[in-house]
Amino acid sequence: MLQSKTAIVTGGSLGLGAAISLELARDGADVALNYRKHADEANAIAEQIRAMGRRALVVQADVASFGDAQKMVDQVKAEWGRVDILVCNAGINWDGVLWKMTEEQWDTVINTNLKGYFNYLRAVAPLMREQKYGRIVCLTSINGLRGKFGQANYSASKAGIIGLVKTAAKELGKSGVTVNAVAPGLILTDMMTKMPEEAKQASLNETALGRLGEPEDVAHVVSFFCSDFARHVTGEVIKVDGGQYI
């Protein structure tokens, strides 16, 4: 499905990013993934990708750094000749109610989750325009659509991603580039292990399907957007939440 395609996945060493990196490789793509602190985990994912017969590249890069993003894209282009797919996934949360949230909490989350996505879209856009081909998928959240108590910074960043996706879809469409977003509900990743059980149960109670999501549920939809099955879909936001939003 993605044979001969090259992909960049930000935050590809853990959780959703790891699942997405492996899914793209299973579907035929070579995958470059970045990490900021988790080198061992990133290299372990790369080894799994290589075991599938695909190429893997591991790059230390801070997504909040404009320069790091450009260097990573340049490195992938230099080593593999092109960048066909970009999946922006790296993100953090640092929760607090609005009247107690610090400037540092706000800036850190916005710089990672929203500016980090801009950094990579800005870096790949000239390449994809020149190629007349590209697939960009951005991970947002249902909380970017509805808001969430205690997550003003996170929800604002995820809502901003949706605006970024729709604008990029308009600007890059005539160059053969599609830009879409996937909005997960609560997904059972390592990050969620720190969540109080009552909070997990509250999210479970919201779902129509009566189950919480797994990373593969999101990865399948991301890979679909990267494939030619979705060649006439752009500017869309697909929820993967088991009916949690409704």
Digit-coded pLDDT (tens) for 34-47 = 999 899 999 999 99
Q: Which residues are catalytic?
A: 154
Segments making up each domain of the chain, as ranges: 6-185+214-238
pLDDT at 192 exceeding the cut of 80: no
Q: What is the pLDDT of residues 201-226, one digit of tens each?
A: 989 999 999 999 999 999 999 999 99
Q: Can you count the helices (H) and strands (E) in the chain?
A: 9, 7
pTM over 0.95: yes
> Which of left, alpha, beta for 21 (phi over 0: left; psi -120 to 50: alpha)?
alpha
Per CATH, the architecture of 6-185+214-238 is what? 3-Layer(aba) Sandwich (3.40)
Q: What is the pLDDT of residues 141-159, one digit of tens each?
A: 999 999 999 999 999 999 9
- Given a contact cutoff of 8 angstroms between Cβ atoms, the answer to whether 83 and 128 are in contact is yes
Helix, strand or coil, per DSSP, at residue 1 = coil
Q: How many CA atoms lie within 13 A of 20 on its CB side?
A: 32
